[in-house]
Every structure is written in structure tokens, then in C-alpha cells.
Amino acid sequence: MRQKKLLRLFITMSTSFVLLTVFTPEELTATTRVVDPNKSGGCLTSDSPPCYTTIGAAITAADTATGDDIFVEPGTYQENLSLSKNISIQGRETARTIISGGGSGTILTVSGVNSITIYNFTFIDAAVGISVSNSTNVDIINNVFNLGKSLGTAVNITDVPSSTEIINNTFYENYIAILATADITIKNNILDNNATALSPGTRDMGLITFNLFNANTDNGPSDTDLQSTTNILNQSPLFVDTATRDFHVEEGSPVIAAGDGSEDIGAYGGASADTIPFPVSILSAVDSSVGPPPYQITVSWSENLSHLVTHTTTPGGYNVHYSENRSGAPYDTPIDALTATSEVLTGLTAASAPAAPVIDVARTEYANGTIKVYWSSVLNATGYKVYYRNIDAVPAPPELSDDVMNVTEHAITGLINGDNYEIEVTAYTQNTYYIAVTAYDSSGLTLEPGVQHESDYSIEETVDIGPVAEGLRSNTETEYPEAIVPHPNLPNEGCFIATAAYGYYSAPQVQALRDFRDQYLLPNTPGKAFVNWYYTYGPIAARFINEHPWLKPAVRVGLLPAVGVSTFMTRTTMPAKMAVVIFTVLALFFIVQRRLHRKLSQH
Amino acid sequence: MKKITMASKNMRLIRLLTIFASFLFSVLLVPHTILAADPLSDQPRWSTEVKGGLFYPDIDEWKTYYGKNNTYHLAGTIAFKLFRQLEVGIEGGYIRDKGQGFAPGHGNPAGSVIYELFPLQAFLVFRWVFSEEQWFVPYFGGGWTRMYYREKIEFQGDVKGSADGYHARAGLQFLLDDLDPDAANKFYSDYGVHHTYFFLEAQYISAVIGTPEIDLGGTSFLAGLLFEY
């Protein structure tokens, strides 16, 4: 009896456990979705976290039930977005994560949500930056709005309760900075150079605190009302550079530590502000070596004037990053330049001569006026030179060379068919230094370029150092080019007689006649007429020659003047042609003179 | 009593198999049961072929210069049906291979040559059609060929020309309509295509040029689709 009870209990518990396990809903976890159109190799479906090339695609994929986060890498996104999901959208770096409306429309339309955070973006060029309606708990934090003073409403809020908060934003040059039909929290913002800062002007001033109002045509609320709730009036925020949209503030700005909780006012204050300084630009990077070696490069860059970098008591500074013969991050060597805006990179070395390559003689190819050689690649070579010399020509012409950059094969063209050429290859190298500069802030915390407390890299500069070091010559390849007879060797339309006489279409003599036709006959009407006449009757003569092969030598002799003139006209330079013409005219002149003189003396 | 040897036994077996194969072939040529309300009962007037396959050139030492003894052949035709069984049409094709030429001084293959043929053909073709629902249709035909050619020689230029000749072709086409009657009916109602066939074809081309004579033709084995409309 007891056993039966135990068995029943066991079955009941087991069944319950199984049912609970099967039917208990899986725990919902938020997914971070990354928007990165510049991701190396592109976004893949297998990426984790999921990657997208547009913000719109990430919003579409976001799961409203889990409250997904969308994280947007720096870039300029031209999108018009609609959002009705409870998610957060964050840019990595406010100044360089830009969403543009392309001059019209609404960039981000938020409707029917009850929890959303939008932070660390710069909104530009649109009729409306963010439009919010029928929503609650909307937080707009640490953004820059710069839509155009005659164009845009930065934030347009309708039908929302007071749970909406606009905190630590910078509104610069907008038609209306904030248009809100309800009373909402507006705190720690900079509203500078807008046509209208707040609209309508009559509102609950208890919610409008710790903002800076400057140079707006119309602030909205009266100065008295604004001053009554800790707002700062008519003081320049001292932006670093509005032209490049660097809305960090300089040392001495009235917004520093002036916000609620002694935070900075504006887009770069508060706990959610990005910690990445604005990038600097390299002004110059030059080889400043004096009597090398050793070699050195002097780099100078623009100053980052943000008070976060230039802090008077605990300043930030600059790092110079460089690599030898390798482009891009991560760089091999960082140098802390402290607060200086130039640095000398010393102890740099020139390249040593690379080894000699080896020509693969088994692979050498030859064609009409062309020899193609292949060689082994050489470690550290940045390029190769192919030297060649005609060893049959008399007098011996000078050696020529082709700089073929960093490849291991080369076709030498313009050679004389049948003449032997000696070919050698050398490898060369020169050290190139790739340099980028970053600014870092005064926090003293761990630095990571473009991620935390250190700016992204500047645009990279390259400097070549030391002489080009050329290595020893390779083995010598001796080869001669020749015209190729295609298989099958078919007759070509045109140059019929010459093809018949010389046996194949690609004979150099036939080529000379063909070139003469193309360069001197076809461009003019009489020449064209002659070519047409020849195309009509030439094949008949060619057929006759082919049927009577014994005629070929005689035809070749007959064609010699034509081939000679064609070769001269198509293979010589203009000075050479002029020289021959002048010589011929002079010779004729002297011959005629001499004959006249002889005749006169006979009389 | 007549002795049956092993050889005569084999001969009987072959004869039986031949008779059976002939019977099977005849059955296949006979139309199958006609579908009710078949929209394909009216007869097509035009046909178009799209085909591709291998071309075996009749040129000596082809393999020495081009690496293998065949290359690809693509073609398309359009033809008008003089009768249900007899068509007159034109065909355009493209044959290409890449190989080497000959270096007379070195005495071996060298360089890089792209060999192209553009056969343009006018033809008559007889299709052994007894019924619009016939599954297997043998056909044969032939006609005049104008073979345009081009040889692109690296670093030298092109050799171009043409030669006249003839061609003959024969093949067997398989009616595809019954594999998916709905699609066939839609193809007919939307585009007016009565029948779609898959076909296999052998084609021989001859086009001689030059002295000594070179035959630019060869034999092609092609497969394709035939649309009758």
C-alpha cells in the first residue's frame, strides 16, 4: 500500500516536472544589434551580435518584447526612421554618428511606445529631427541637433505626458529647438543660435532647469522665468568648432560643471555622454632626418581644444601611432606626445637590400615583339625592376628597364622580333612609415582609440624613409620575340596580297602595311577609296598568288618599297621623319645643282 | 534435328531485342491519350531553339594548341513552319576557345590566341510529328552555312574573315508539356507557346577556306529547349 502511494507520488512529481519544464516560457533577454555599414567584410547573417548596414534594418529586426538595444557605429546615415518599439538606440560617438534627413522630412518618428531612449547622435538637415507622439517615457539624451536655422524643428513632441525627458543635448542653429505641446523635463541642454529655443513659451518652468540659452532669436519663455529656474542666459558656450560639428566646449565655458549634479551642460555632459574626444588631423608628416642614418620623421597635428583634453590641472594629450611597412590599425608603436602638437619619431631605419629574385626560365613566353618573364617573389620587396638589353643589335643599344611595382611577372613589349634579349630582374624595397594621431582626455582611465577616452585615429599619413634599396640581379634569361602564327592559320580580310606573299597574316611586313593603312590611309577620303578598291580586287590577286606559289618571292621583292615606306612611316619618330625629308631634299638639291653646273660648264 | 549453336542463339536474341526496341520506339511515337479540353490542339506556326553543347573541330592538331579536342558551342534558331512537319529557319551560333599559336622560329606552340566562330545558317528541318501530343519527335535537316571567324592574337591583333559551307543536323526532341500540364497551359495562354520540347542534337558543319584548305567546321553535340508557338 505504501509502495503504491510512493509510486503515485513519484509519477505525479515527475509529470509535473516535465510539464513545467516544457511549458515554462524561455527567459526573454534583450539583444544588442549593431549597425556598422563599414564593417570589415560586410555584415553577415552569422554575425554575433547581429550586424546591419542601416539603422532602419536594425529597427525592423528589433524585438519589442525583449527591449533590444541598437548600437550604431560612427558614420553618416541618411534615413527616415519610424519607431514603435520599446528599444534604445545609441550612437557610439555623438559627433561622428550622424543621421541626416537629406534636407527634408522627419528623421525619426516615434509613436505608440512606452519606453525608449535615444542618445549619442547628431541630427542634421531635416524638417524635423525627432517627432514624438502618443508615447510615454521617451528619453532624448546627449544628442546634437543642427538641422539648419531656417529649416528644422529639432524635437517635436505632441500628446505626451510629462514622463518625457530632454536632457544634456546641444541644439545649435535650428528653426525651433524644442516644440512641445505638453510640459516635459528639459534639463542640462545648450540652446544656442536657434530661431526659437522653446515653443510655446508659456510652460511649467519647474521642469526647465539648468539649461544654457544663448543667441537665440527667441528663447520662448521670458528671461525672468528662465533665470528663476537655474538656467544660464546669454553666455557663449564656447564650442570647439561648430563648422566641423565639434560641440565639445573649451576651457572656461560657462557650461562646465554648471548642470544638475554639477555635470557639464550640453551633449557631452552627464553619465551617458560618450567619452571619445573629437579626432585630430595630421598637418604634416615629413622626413626630417639630418645626415641619415638614423632616420626620423616630424609629425604635427591640429590641437583638440575640448576642455576634456586641455584640462588645466590634469590635461589629456595626444598619442602618435605608427607602423613600419604596414598600413592601418592597430599600429605597432604608440608614443605619448603629452600636450604637444608635434612629435619627432626617431630611431627609424632604412630598408636593407632584398635578395635577388630567380627568373623561372621554363615559364618564359614570347610573342610578337614581346617577351614575358616570371620570377620568384622576394621577402620584403616593395617592387621589382626588369632590365633588358638587345644583344643582337649593332651598335649595342643601352640597357633598358621597366619598373613593374610589386608583381612577379612582366611582359616586355616593343621588342624587335628575332633579336635576342638578355633579361634580368632585381627586387627593391624602401621603408614606409604609416602614422596616425589620437587625442586622449584627462580622465586617466584606460584608453582605447575610438572606443573610450581616446579619439579615433586621424587620417593616416605615409612617409618613405631612406633610399630605395635595390638587391642583386637575378639569373639571366636570353630569349627572342617573334610573331605568332595562329592555329589554324586563316587568311585575314585586308592585306591579301602581302599575306599570300609572306605566308601568314601576322608576318611583321604585313603588320607594317596594316599599320600604314590604319594610320595614313583610313583617316582620309582618298585613302579610304584606295582601301575599298584594294579590298575588292586584292583577294583575286591573293588567290592567284596562292595558286602559283612560285610567284611569292617575286611579289615579296615587288612589295619591298611599300613595306620599307610603311615601316619608316609607322616605326619612326617625327624628328627622324623630318631629318630624312630634309636630307632627301638637300640631296636632290645638290644633285640638280651639280647637273646644272656640269651642263653650264660643258657649254 | 537442327542443332542450335550458341552463335545462332545470340543472333536470335539480338533480332528479338531489335524487334522489341523498334516496337517500343513506334509506341513512343504514337500519340498518348488526349487530355480533355486540351488548349494545345491548334497548330504552331513558329519555333525557336536555344541550345548549347560541345563542338569537335575538324582542324588538325587542335588539341596541341587548345588543350582538348572540343570546345563549347552555343546557338539559337528561329524557324517558320511551312507545314507542320517542315520548317525553314535561320540559326546563329557562337563557338570559342582559348589556346596558343605557333612560333615558327622556336618551332613550338606559344603566345595566346582566342579562336572564335560565328556560324550563321539557313536551314530546312523536317520534324516527324504525327500528333500534337507526341512525346518523342525525331527530326533532321540541313542547309547553307556562312562561317565567320576571328582569331585574337595577343600583342598582334585580330585575324578576321568568313567562309561558306553547309551543315546537316539530326536529333530527337522530347515533349515536356505533360510533365507539368498546368504550366504548359499557362505558357500557352500567357505567351502563346503551344509546346516545349527538350532535345538532343548532332550537327555537322563544313566551311572550307584558304590554300591549303582548312575546314572550319566540325561536329557538335547539343542539347536545348525548343519552343513552338
Residues A298 and A161 in one domain: no
The phi, psi pair for A104, rounded to 5°, reads: -155, 175
Distance, in angstroms, between A568 CA and closest chain B CA? 19
Distance, in angstroms, between A417 CA and closest chain B CA? 10
Domain's final residue, options A231, A262, A293: A262
In a domain, A577, yes or no: no
Q: What is the CA radius of gyration of chain B?
A: 23
pLDDT band at A499 (very low <50, low <70, confident <90, very high): low
Q: What is residue A102's three-state secondary structure?
A: coil
* Closest chain B residue by Cα to residue A487: B101
Determine if the pTM surpasses 0.80: no
Residues A207 and A197 in one domain: yes
Distance, in angstroms, between A397 CA and closest chain B CA? 23
What is the 3-state secondary structure of B79-139? EEECCCCEEEEEEEEEEEEEEEEEECCCCEEEEEEEEEEEEEEEEEEEECCCCCCCCEEEE
Domains and CATH numbers, chain B: 43-228 (2.40.160.20)
Please report the residues numbered 153 through 182 in chain B whose beta carbons come closer than 8 angstroms to any beta carbon of chain A: 153-161
Residues A75 and A101 in one domain: yes
Using a CB-CB cut-off of 8 Å, the residues of chain B touching A514 are: 157
Using a CB-CB cut-off of 8 Å, the residues of chain A touching B96 are: none
Residues A424 and A445 in one domain: no
Q: Which of B111, B161, B211 has its CB closest to that of A484?
A: B111
| Domain region containing A525 | 496-571
Residues A308 and A368 in one domain: no
Say yes or no for a CB contact (<8 Å) between A514 and B161.
no
Say yes or no for a CB contact (<8 Å) between B153 and A488.
no
Residues A338 and A421 in one domain: no
Using a CB-CB cut-off of 8 Å, the residues of chain B touching A411 are: 155
Residues A380 and A514 in one domain: no
CATH number at residue A292: 2.60.40
pLDDT band at A548 (very low <50, low <70, confident <90, very high): confident
- Name the least confident of A41-45, A171-175, B220-224: A41-45
Using a CB-CB cut-off of 8 Å, the residues of chain B touching A505 are: 159
In a domain, A127, yes or no: yes
Residues A322 and A376 in one domain: no
Q: Quick one: which of A155, A204, A203, A165 has its CA closest to A185?
A: A165
β-bridge mates for residue A98, sequence order: A76, A122
Query: Exposed, middle or buried: residue B149 (CB in 10 Å: 0-12, 13-18, 19+)?
Result: buried
pLDDT digit string, tens, across residues A13-44: 776 666 655 555 444 567 889 999 888 888 88
Using a CB-CB cut-off of 8 Å, the residues of chain A touching B102 are: 484-487, 489
Best mutation target, A361, A366, A484, to test chain B (most B CBs within 10 A): A484
The phi, psi pair for A381, rounded to 5°, reads: -70, 135
Q: Does B211 touch chain A (CB under 8 A)?
A: yes
Please list, in sequence order, all residues whose beta carbon lies within 8 angstroms of the beta carbon of residue A135, skipping any fewer than 6 positions away: A110, A111, A112, A113, A114, A116, A160, A164
* Closest chain A residue by Cα to residue B216: A488
Task: Count other Cβ atoms within 10 Å, centred on residue A366.
Answer: 25
In a domain, A579, yes or no: no
Whether the per-residue pLDDT at B211 is higher than 80: the answer is no
Q: Are B185 and B205 in contact (CB under 8 A)?
A: no
Say yes or no for a CB contact (<8 Å) between B156 and A484.
yes
Task: Count other Cβ atoms within 10 Å, centred on residue B185.
Answer: 16
Q: Does B113 touch chain A (CB under 8 A)?
A: yes
Q: Are B66 and B97 in contact (CB under 8 A)?
A: yes
Q: Are B59 and B213 in contact (CB under 8 A)?
A: no
Distance, in angstroms, between B142 CA and closest chain A CA? 25
Using a CB-CB cut-off of 8 Å, the residues of chain A touching B148 are: none
In a domain, A219, yes or no: yes
Terminal CA-CA length for chain B: 63
Whether the per-residue pLDDT at A552 is higher than 50: the answer is yes
β-bridge mates for residue A424, sequence order: A387
Residues A141 and A71 in one domain: yes
β-bridge mates for residue A41, sequence order: none
Distance, in angstroms, between B68 CA and closest chain A CA? 14
pLDDT digit string, tens, across residues A273-316: 999 999 999 999 999 988 778 899 999 999 999 999 998 888 99
Strands A190-192, A138-141: pairing is unpaired
Number of domains in chain A: 4
In a domain, A5, yes or no: no
Residues A159 and A88 in one domain: yes
- Name the least confident of A168-172, A524-528, B95-99, B144-148: A524-528
The yes/no answer to whether this complex scores an ipTM above 0.90 is no
Q: Are A101 and A95 in contact (CB under 8 A)?
A: no
Residues A138 and A227 in one domain: yes
Residues A332 and A372 in one domain: no
Please report the residues numbered 25 through 84 in chain B whose beta carbons come closer than 8 angstroms to any beta carbon of chain A: 59, 61-62, 64-66
